[in-house]
Each structure stands twice: as structure tokens, then as C-alpha cells.
Amino acid sequence: MTNLSEQWQRSDVRAAQGAQAWNVRLLFGFLVACLLAQVTMTFGPPLGLRTILRTLPFLGSLSMLLLVRGSSRRHPAKPWAVAVLLITGLMLLSPTNGGTVAAVAQAGFSAAIVAPLFWTTRIELSSNRLASLFTIWWTFHALSAGIGVLQFYWPETFAFSPSEQLSHFGLDYVASLSFERADGVSVLRPMGLTDLPGGASVSALYVIVGSCYWFLRPGRLLVRFGVLVLTTMATFTLLICQVRSIQIATLGGLLFLAGLLVWRGRGGLARRLVFLLGGIIVVAVGWALAQAGPTVASRLATLTSEPPGELYYRNRGFFLTETVTDFLPNNPLGAGLGRWGMMNQYFADEAGAPAIHAEVQWTGWAIDGGVPLILLYLCLLVVAELSLVREARGSSGEAMILLGVLAALGAALCALTLNAPVMSSQLALEFWMFNGLAVGQAARSDSSDGP
């Protein structure tokens, strides 16, 4: 009887190991598929194929709920995510939705975005595997930011087809996406491996903040030199993209990481971070000012020409103010699903309520679910970020550095919700994927509290 029990136990162990091996392969395959879909869109496929490629990562995220095996770990943010989904589901009953199909699509879209929080917590991932996944993701964005440099110098060769979404904007806005180099040649803001002018700025943010993982951990000198070159190129791309909100978010992410290191008692690492990134920024600013002409210089000057609050209000803050003072008092429970964004563009019908424009993420949440959804999403993001910070503070060695970098990247993305609907995009999928993988993992680095 004892032998039979032991055989069953060994069989259960082998089954669990096989399930986790399957989960890890699915995870890496999911990330690579999402990145390849993004790359494919840069080559200007037909509109129908573009729509499929845009939806592929979100359909994949929902599919992972069924494909990933095993029991789920606890994550403090899960109850808040469930509450967000319940509110969204209730909004399907709203009589002011943008049509039945658009409302269902918006509900599915919202579920797909937070779904990684549920399926990643079934995956047991060692620190080394998490670092490998992060390296693949970071390398993609380093390539995207690097291509941004090539698009600046050789636009005829490396510029990709802009998104069809630009047709929804006025001519003045589209014209503002170009600028003159120092030699008088007009170029689009670098797209990188996206189809939106200026899109390379997001990759630049990820590369600059993510590079801290290699700068702060022990490693080969050649690897650090390569990361140094790529980070300098990314900083140049960030500057010539001229997206000030992402420039500020990048700086905020670096300060967040430095503060976390000091709080963790690693002041020496924080000083190394400030020294290395400060030198890179100085070099990149000189490079950009010399090559990109007065447009970049004048754009940078606006960051200090007036108080930060006034600068934000004049460019983006008034959208948030209108949401709080005008929209929410008239629509405290939201205006209905499928009224804004991609789901409205693709699936709204004539019987549905008219579209509403959302320039910042908080307006989008206000439209979808009003005050309740805004408060729930605020709690969801705060709990998710604090959970990751707690995980980083309780770890050591390279695991602590990686988790701190992920927390800084997450904080930067959360800040960008004040500027654009970033939590209704593939960026949000990646945010929840890394947060779900990093929080509550039993396997951590066994290294000492170095470097």
C-alpha cells in the first residue's frame, strides 16, 4: 500500500512538472507572438489583416485562461480585478451602449487586458526564467528604439506605413508629427517597430529604465557596453520623438527605482544608477541638439518654461478636468460600453449611442463605468504596484534588482494613464503579465545580497 501511495505521489509530481513545462512554453510563445504581431503591422498590411493583428494579443490573452494549467497563486490585486470585471459586465445592461456588438467587444477587451493577472499566477517561474523573459521583451524594445535612430537619419529606407488611425485626426495634428532636422530635411517622429509617429518613445522609455537591470547587476563587460550603446541610442530616440509626457515618465521611473534602492538600503546602487544614466542623458542631449535642430531644443525648453502643473493642464490636464467637472456629474455611472476607442471604431452600429472621444485613460474608464470603475481601477493599480514593491523589497541579489526595475516600469506606465489610454492597449497586457509573474513567486534567487 505504501509503495502504491509513493507511486501516486511521484506520478503527481511528474504531472505537475509537465504542466509547468507546458505553461512556460506557452508563456514565452505568447510574448513572442505578441511582439511579432506588432512587427508585422509596421509593414503596412491590408486593413483587414491589421485588425486581426491588433486583436491577436488580446484573443491570445483570453485563450491563455484556458490553456495554462495548474492551480493559481494568491495575488493581492485579484479581488480588485474581479470587481472591475463585474462592473464592466453589469454595464452590458446599459441602454446607452454603442451597440450590442461594440458593448460585448469592449467587455471582452477589458477582460483580456486584466486576464494575465489570472493566468500568470498559475505559472511557476524561477528568477532566471523571469530574467530571460524580460531580456526578450527588452531586446525587442531596444531594437525598436534603435530603428528609431535609423528612421531619423534614413527616413526613406526605414520609415514604415503609418496607422490608419491617423485618418481620424485633423491635418494640423498629423502635420505636427513631423519636424525638421538641422539640415532642413523634414522627417516623421520615429515610429520604431510601431505604426504611429512618435511610437518609438515608449520603447525608449522601456529600454532606458530596463537597462538598469544590466547596469546594477554583476555581468560581463561586453554585455554592459552593448547595453550602454543601446541605451544611449534609446535616449536619443526619446528626445527626437518629442513626447514630453513620456520623457517625464522616463525620468520618474528612474527616480522611482533610485528611491526604491535607497529604501532597500542599497544607496551605492542608487548612486551608480544616477552616475551612469546621468552620463548617458548628457551625451544623448548633446547628440540630439546637434542633429535634430532647433525644434527639439525648443521642445525641451518648454519643460522648464512654466510650472509643471500649468504645463500639464495646458496640454493634457484639461481633458482630465473636463472628465471630473463635466462628464462625471452628468454620467456618474458611465455612458455605456463601446462608446470610445478601437471597439467603437470597429464594432459600433447606427442603433448605438454616438461615440465619445477619450484622450486620457481616466476618461475611458469614466465612459465605461463612471465613478465606480474609476475608483476600482485606481485601487487595482495601487495594490498591484505596492505588491510588486513589497516583493522587490523582500528579495535580494539580482532578483531584487529585476523586481525593482519591473516596479519602476509599472509606475511609469501608471503615470502615463494621465496622458493617454495606455491601459487599453498591448502595453497593459505586458504590465499585467510581468506583475502577475513577479508577485508571489516561491522561486527566488539564492544569491547573496550582492552585488
Over 50: is that where the pLDDT of 252 sits?
A: yes
* Of residues 76, 74, 64, 71, the one with CA closest to residue 112: 64
Query: SS3 of 378, please?
Result: helix
Query: SS3 of 335, please?
Result: coil
Quick one: average pLDDT of 97-122? 94
Query: Does 12 fall in a domain?
Result: no
245 exposed, middle or buried (CB, 10 Å; 0-12, 13-18, 19+)?
Answer: middle
| pLDDT class of 173 with cuts at 50, 70, 90 | low
Describe the chain by its helix, strand, coil percentages, rounded to 5: 75, 0, 25
Range of the domain at 322: 17-438
Among 29-33, 336-340, 353-357, 434-438, the least confident range: 353-357
For residue 72, what are the CA distances in angstroms to 65, 68, 123, 394, 398? Answer: 11, 10, 8, 21, 25
The pLDDT, as a whole number, for residue 170 is 52
| pLDDT class of 163 with cuts at 50, 70, 90 | low
The pLDDT, as a whole number, for residue 165 is 55
pLDDT tens track for 198-232 = 889 999 999 999 999 999 988 788 999 999 999 99
Quick one: average pLDDT of 147-169? 74
Query: Does 448 fall in a domain?
Result: no
Query: Does 3 fall in a domain?
Result: no
What is the rounded CA–CA span in Å between residue 303 and residue 300?
6
Q: Which carries the bigger pLDDT value, residue 159 or residue 117?
A: 117
Amino acid at 251: L
pLDDT tens track for 269-295 = 899 888 888 899 899 989 988 888 787
Q: Which carries the bigger pLDDT value, residue 171 or residue 100?
A: 100
Over 90: is that where the pLDDT of 44 sits?
A: no
Query: Does 444 fall in a domain?
Result: no
The total number of structural domains that make up the chain:
1
CB–CB of 380/77 below 8 Å? yes
What's the alpha-carbon Rg for the chain, to the nearest Å?
23
- In sequence order, what are the residues at sequence separation of 6 or more whose Cβ sits closer than 8 angstroms to the Cβ of residue 27? 68, 120, 123, 125, 133, 437
Site of grid cell 505559472: 123
DSSP 159-174: --PPPGGGGGS-HHHH
Query: Does 421 fall in a domain?
Result: yes
The pLDDT, as a whole number, for residue 64 is 96
Query: Does 1 fall in a domain?
Result: no
CB–CB of 234/212 below 8 Å? no
Query: Does 376 fall in a domain?
Result: yes
Query: Does 4 fall in a domain?
Result: no
Which grid coordinates belong to 362? Answer: 481616466
